[in-house]
Amino acid sequence: MIGIIIFVAGCTFLAVKCYKNAYKTFDNFPPGPPNLPIYGAYWIVLASQLNNLAGACQRLGHWYNTKILGMFLGPVPSVIVNDSAMIRDMLYCEDFDGRVDIILGRLRSYWKKLGIFFTDGYFWHVQRRFSLRYLRDFGFGRRDHTLEAVMESELKEVIDMTINGPKFPAEKDLVEGDLIYLPHYFAVPFINGMLHVLSRMTLPRNQYHHLWELARHTLIFQRSSNDFGGALSLTPWLKDVLPNFSGYNGLRKGNQYLLDFFTKLVKEVMDTQEDNHDRHFLDMYVKKMKEEIEYQGKSTFSVDQLVLTCTDYMFPTATAVESVLTMLVERMLLQPEIQDKVHEEIDRVVGRGRLPNLDDRRHMPYTEACIREMMRHETLVPLGVPHRVTANTNFHGYDIPEDCLISANYVCLHMDEAIWGDPKAFRPERYLTNGLLDLSKDKSLPFGAGRRLCAGETYARQSMFQVFAGFMQAFHVSTHDGKPLKQPARRIQGIITTLPEFWVRVTPRG
């Protein structure tokens, strides 16, 4: 009897303690779900919509009647902004420019805080400013005819591979008769373009298999973890007991290929570097590193940081832009009239005698609108890269504590009926006024905003137009079996949203 009483008393004590902890929060913190044991409100988020965390946060915002959702994800106080206007305020607030120190960021950077994505403060400021300043000299973030020529040359090779058939064994994995395998088919121009920006080199066609392997491993990394680590970030010990289930092995495998790729490239650069001769960005970085170490004895510049900087710029290049174009191909299979309009515009503006270039972009508003509409319609990073609050801040009437995680729910912005009218419809015409592109109508933020704006926005927009327009000039696309496509494929929610790989039929347009 005494044992039973003790057991009941113990259970009651634990229940009361859990109940109090569930509703314990900061003063004037945004409302949200209770804090449950171990994972906090993350249990409730997953239960709401397992494979759509942005949708789950939006649903919970409606449930708690708030545009700013507050909760604890494990021990971490977290805020999700579900309102279009507030999202912009959040992104431009410098007190929200920090980064959360999670296992995902450490795993990919030798268990240090390195790179651009997951660093903040003085280190981030110096490294981001230097990389953007000197990458521009080699065509990143601006018009550069040399880079455009490289992109055109690489696109010609991919088109030739499709029309005339594979020359090398690895090409047979992506081209089989009149079928191409997406998204990796699109990888070569984007990755070689970024390699040219970083190192003034590109891999020739007989080495394209290295580019496709890089794209594959980057995709493995992107898909191995939902919500920037999810349970793995909240309970890092899962990497030791459930390395496959937690996504740890996939993250490590995918990331290691990129680290090895750029470690080898940086070593080759350092072994061949000449004094007073800057061949490319990598030379300029190594020169700066050596100067600071020589004159100051220490530096934020290092070989490891250079490898991570290259990796950070390559990650979206190797997956995100290909995913946008792959989704756009799928959309043309769902809505064939879009393909017809793109073809008509290309034939009218460019013809067939040359590939489209960036000078044509302003004369091809519908083609440009298709790319913009796809990035709105399919939000690649629904909750963005998590920010960290760097100082206690009052935000729209709520007190947000220092070191709180804060994220923007971009789906709320991109699917806001008050802004778009019919947001679920894929309608490129929404960006046009009298047949011309009207940028004032584009309220989307696929690259974020503020000081944490994606550094690769200009490169991505320019290269996607060049590759998409050139591809569509060359081919008509249809399903691999010739049957109409009725439904979009399921989305894979990882760090970014992707489609499953699939074959599509391409017919040369002559």
Q: Residue 68 corresponds to which tokens in the numbers above?
A: 């700013």
pLDDT of residue 87: 97
Tabulate helix, strand, coil % of the chain (nearest 5): 55, 10, 35
Helix axes 187-199, 145-163, angle to 10 degrees: 150
DSSP count for the chain of H helices, then E strands? 19, 15
The C-alpha atoms of residue 279 and residue 138 are separated, in whole angstroms, by 10
C-alpha span between 335 and 351 (Å, rounded): 23
What's the confidence (pLDDT) of residue 4? 54
Q: Is 57 annotated as a binding residue?
A: no
Q: Where are the domains of the chain?
A: 75-508
Successive 10-residue mean pLDDT values, the chain, 510 residues: 50 43 76 94 90 92 96 94 97 95 88 93 95 93 93 97 95 96 96 96 96 95 74 87 88 93 94 82 94 88 96 93 97 97 98 95 98 97 94 97 96 97 97 95 96 94 97 97 93 91 94
Tokens of 119: 């660093």
3-state secondary structure of 38: coil
438 φ, ψ to 5°?
-115, 95
pTM here is 0.93
Please give the helix or strand (H or E) that residue 406 lies within, else none. Answer: strand 405-408
**What does the alpha-carbon distance between residue 399 and residue 501 come to, in Å, rounded to a whole number?**
44
* Beta-strand relationship, 475-479 and 387-388: unpaired
The pLDDT value given to residue 18: 45
pLDDT at res. 15: 44
CA gap 431, 86 in Å, rounded: 23
Q: Tell the CATH topology of 75-508.
A: Cytochrome p450 (1.10.630)
Q: For residue 338, which amino acid is it?
A: I
User: Would you say 498 and 354 are in contact if contact means Cβ atoms under 8 Å apart?
Assistant: no
First to last CA, the chain: 89
Cα 268 versus chain centre, distance: 29
Kindly state the DSSP code that residue 181 receives in the 8-state scheme: E
HSE value, Cβ hemisphere, 13 Å, CA-based, for 431: 22
